[in-house]
Structure 1
Amino acid sequence: MAIEQEKKHFGIKDIAKLANVSIATVDRVLNNRKDVSNATRERVLAIIKEHNYQPNLFARSLSVKNNIHVAVIIPKTSFQTGYWALCLEGINKGKEELAPFGIVTTIFLYDQEDVSTFKKETQKLLAENFTAVVIAPIFVKETEDFVHACHQRHMQTIYINSDIPTKSTMGYIGPDLYSTGRLAGNLTSYLVKSNSKILVLNVAKGIENYRYLGTKIDGFKEYLHDFDPTIQIDIVDIPYNEYEEVELELKINIKKHDPNLIFFTNSRVAFLGRFYADHPEIKKPPIIGFDFLSSNVEYLANGVVDFLICQRPDKQGYFALNYLYRYFLKKESLEGFKPMPIDILTKENYLFYEN
């Protein structure tokens, strides 16, 4: 009990006394500010470590409560994909957990098929005074312009889901897209023989905006080229979101390419599952797709889709907010890229998995 009381009452004044410095100096060390010599900083940090001092984050949040306003701008969910619903679920969880610490989070949603909605939401966002912005980029040029405007206003920025050439101040939290492509290539290598034909399908309206799909495909192609150069890879873009339009394109391209395997590059692989369920007369090759969505899992469970590669969209949003909490309140120095785990699901193990 005496030891617990000692730990409970150990604070900044005690650190200052043991280090023979002022309380202000301890505060500068805790907040990673300058104007402290290396020797003094190391002495203070050693005392903090020795006594396992944990700053009172609730008290600290009171002093900065009016200064930590976080914006999140992501695509809204649609009938074609529930991917962004999972991401939003993680963001809302983080928002709720961080509210007691004085971190206020405002969410802006845009239509990933309509660039004008992105511009409208970013204009609304820039009209307010935010400390940091979490961004899920789809429209590359417009996102670059927006990020430049954020930086001019001294707003911290962090990307989730996909990265773009214009760097954010706090990096990127999400899948290593190139590695997800290589993983799909690795799975493919076990499923096909030499001289096989692979069909890579990109299905989404406004496909030209989905730059990150190209990164996945580069990883996929490189892996298979190194594994067996005789494997033929054909890439087809289907710029639609309605099943009836996608179905027609699938009929044409599957007949044309007669693939030994299909690699579906985004979370809408349920379109392909439905296609083969609707057309049992067409022989189905192995199918590799993305993301643990109920619509996709249905076709994984019945054996139409063979593998789902999962990228944890809910964790991306949650970790981004937690990242900002650690940076602003705990004053931690953090790396610029936090990759998400890449999981492989099959008919045999999906029941034991959750986002």
Structure 2
Amino acid sequence: MAVEQNKKHFGIKDIAKLANVSIATVDRVLNNRKDVSETTRQRVLAIIKEHNYQPNLFARSLSVKNNIHVAVIIPKTSFQTGYWALCLEGINKGKEELQPFGIITTIFLYDQEDVATFRKETEKLLSENFTAVVIAPIFVKETEEFVQVCHQRRMQTIYINSDIPTKSTLGYIGPDLYSTGRLAGNLTSYLVKPKSSILVLNVAKGIENYRYLDTKIEGFKEYLLSYDPSIKIDIVDIPYNEYEEVELELKINIKKYDPDLIFFTNSRVAFLGRFYADHPDLKKPPIIGFDFLSSNVEYLADGIVDFLICQRPDKQGYFALNYLYRFFLKKENFEGYKPMPIDILTKENYLFYEN
């Protein structure tokens, strides 16, 4: 009982006494400030580790309350894809958890098919005072311009879902897009024979804004062509979001290429599932698509879609806010990126999966 009591009351004063330094020095170490010698820093950190000292984050949050205001700017959910709804679920979960610590989160939603809405939302965002911003970049040029302004204002930035050349201060949380493409290539290698014809489909209105899909395709091609150079890979962009328009393009291109396998690069693979359900007279090749959405799972369960590669959009949103909590309140220093797990779902295991 006495031991528990001592642990309970072990604090900054005790650390300072054991390290033979001032309380102010301990505070500087805890807040990762630079005006402490490395020898002193390591001595204080060793004592913190030995005694498993945990800062009182609620007390710390009181000192910064109303000073940490986080913005999140992501695409709004559309009828064609529920991907961003899952991301928003994770963000809202993180938002609720962080509010008691004085971290307030404001969400801005833009239309991923209309760059004007992105500009409008970023203007609204920049008209307020935010400490950090979580960004899902779709419009690369506009995002780069926006991020440069954020950095001029000393706002921390972190990307989710896809990375872009202009680096954020706290990195990127999301799938390793090149690896997801290689994984799709690996799956394909078990499903096709030499000299097979592969059709890669990019389906989305404003496809020019989805250039991150190129990274997936690069990984896919690199893996598959190193496995078997005789395989033929054709890439087709279908710049529509309405099924009737997509259906017409699918009829043309599937007849033209007669694929032995179709790799569908984004979360709208339900379009392809519906197409083959509507045309049972057509020979269906193996289909690989993305994301655990109810519309996609319907065709996975029916055996029309063979594999779904899942990228945990809800975890991306949640982890982004959690990283900001750790950065501002726990004073952890980090940058780079946190890759999401890459999961493979089939008809046999999807019932046991949760995002």
| TM bucket normalised to smaller | over 0.9
**In the alignment, is the contact (CA less than 8 A) between 2:169 and 2:335 conserved in 1?**
no
Distance between the aligned counterparts of 2:38 and 2:227, measured in 1?
52
Distance between the aligned counterparts of 1:61 and 1:336, measured in 2?
26
- Matched position secondary structure for 1:216: helix
**Runs ≥4 in structure 1, deviation > 6 angstroms?**
none
Code of the aligned partner of 1:308: L
Code of the aligned partner of 2:255: K
Distance between the aligned counterparts of 1:322 and 1:68, measured in 2?
13
| CA displacement at 1:66 relative to structure 2 | 2.0
**In the alignment, is the contact (CA less than 8 A) between 2:178 and 2:218 conserved in 1?**
yes
Q: Does 1:191 align with 2:191?
A: yes
Distance between the aligned counterparts of 1:35 and 1:201, measured in 2?
55
Q: Does 1:55 align with 2:55?
A: yes
Cα displacement string for residues 307-343 of structure 1 (whole angstroms, at most 9, x for unaligned residues): 0000000000000000111111101122411000000
Can you give the 5+ residue segments of structure 1 that lack an aligned partner in the other structure? none
Code of the aligned partner of 1:4: E
Cα displacement string for residues 25-63 of structure 1 (whole angstroms, at most 9, x for unaligned residues): 000000000111111111111111111100000000000
Distance between the aligned counterparts of 1:100 and 1:333, measured in 2?
22
* 1:226 matched residue in structure 2: 226
Distance between the aligned counterparts of 1:42 and 1:113, measured in 2?
51
Code of the aligned partner of 2:107: I
Aligned positions of 1:13-32 closer than 5 A = 13-32=13-32
Distance between the aligned counterparts of 1:333 and 1:201, measured in 2?
40
Distance between the aligned counterparts of 2:127 and 2:302, measured in 1?
49
- Matched position secondary structure for 2:78: coil
Distance between the aligned counterparts of 2:243 and 2:261, measured in 1?
21
* 2:170 matched residue in structure 1: 170
* 2:343 matched residue in structure 1: 343
Cα displacement string for residues 139-182 of structure 1 (whole angstroms, at most 9, x for unaligned residues): 00000000001011110100000001111111000000000000
Cα displacement string for residues 166-201 of structure 1 (whole angstroms, at most 9, x for unaligned residues): 111110000000000000000000000000000000
* 2:239 matched residue in structure 1: 239
Aligned alpha-carbon RMSD (Å): 0.6
Code of the aligned partner of 2:100: P
* 2:290 matched residue in structure 1: 290
Q: Does 1:3 align with 2:3?
A: yes
Distance between the aligned counterparts of 1:125 and 1:104, measured in 2?
14
- Matched position secondary structure for 1:292: coil
* 1:277 matched residue in structure 2: 277
Aligned length: 355
Aligned positions of 1:32-43 closer than 5 A = 32-43=32-43
Q: Does 1:318 align with 2:324?
A: no
Quote the sequence identity (%).
Answer: 90
| CA displacement at 1:65 relative to structure 2 | 1.0
Distance between the aligned counterparts of 1:224 and 1:113, measured in 2?
31
Cα displacement string for residues 244-266 of structure 1 (whole angstroms, at most 9, x for unaligned residues): 00000000000000000000000
Distance between the aligned counterparts of 1:37 and 1:150, measured in 2?
32
Q: Does 1:301 align with 2:304?
A: no
Code of the aligned partner of 2:225: H
- Matched position secondary structure for 2:295: helix
Distance between the aligned counterparts of 2:2 and 2:82, measured in 1?
53
Aligned positions of 1:230-269 closer than 5 A = 230-269=230-269
Distance between the aligned counterparts of 1:108 and 1:282, measured in 2?
43
| CA displacement at 1:2 relative to structure 2 | 1.1
| CA displacement at 1:19 relative to structure 2 | 1.0
Cα displacement string for residues 205-243 of structure 1 (whole angstroms, at most 9, x for unaligned residues): 000000110000000000011000000000000000000
Aligned positions of 1:138-177 closer than 5 A = 138-177=138-177
Distance between the aligned counterparts of 2:69 and 2:336, measured in 1?
21
Distance between the aligned counterparts of 1:47 and 1:329, measured in 2?
20
Cα displacement string for residues 120-142 of structure 1 (whole angstroms, at most 9, x for unaligned residues): 00000011111100000000000
Distance between the aligned counterparts of 1:238 and 1:326, measured in 2?
42
- Given the two structures, how large is their TM-score scaled by the length of structure 1? 0.99
- Matched position secondary structure for 1:137: coil
- Given the two structures, how large is their TM-score scaled by the length of structure 2? 0.99
Code of the aligned partner of 1:39: T
**In the alignment, is the contact (CA less than 8 A) between 2:197 and 2:257 conserved in 1?**
yes
Can you give the 5+ residue segments of structure 2 that lack an aligned partner in the other structure? none
